[in-house]
Amino acid sequence: MNPQSAIKMMGAINTFRTTHPKFASFMAHFLKTGMPEGTVIEITVTRPGEESVTTNMQVMQSDIELFGAMKDMM
């Protein structure tokens, strides 16, 4: 990643943290404490005027490695 892109990405991350402090704090907690294999992540999306849609995933070792790489990038 080139330095200009990295600076732009960090600005976007900081804006996200400011705009969504509870969600950013929630995610930071699990990035710090880790999510062992077998952890289930569930997310629900509710668009205005539409019914909610929910999905989930069970964390696998490959996901843990991906999360670690993403954490190192930040």
pLDDT tens digits for 13-62? 899 999 999 998 988 888 788 889 999 999 999 999 999 999 999 999 99
Same domain, 20 and 49: no
Q: Can you give the pLDDT at residue 15?
A: 94
H or E stretch at 54: strand 53-58
Q: Which residues lie across from 55 on neighbouring strands?
A: 43
Same domain, 25 and 53: no
Q: What's the number of CA atoms in the CB half-sphere (13 Å) around residue 31?
A: 15
pTM, 2 dp: 0.64
Same domain, 29 and 41: no
Same domain, 25 and 51: no
Same domain, 54 and 21: no
Residue 69 domain boundaries: 37-74
CA 10 centroid distance within chain: 14
The count of domains in the chain is: 2
Same domain, 22 and 6: yes
What pLDDT band is residue 72 in, cutting at 50, 70 and 90? confident
Same domain, 74 and 41: yes
Same domain, 22 and 41: no
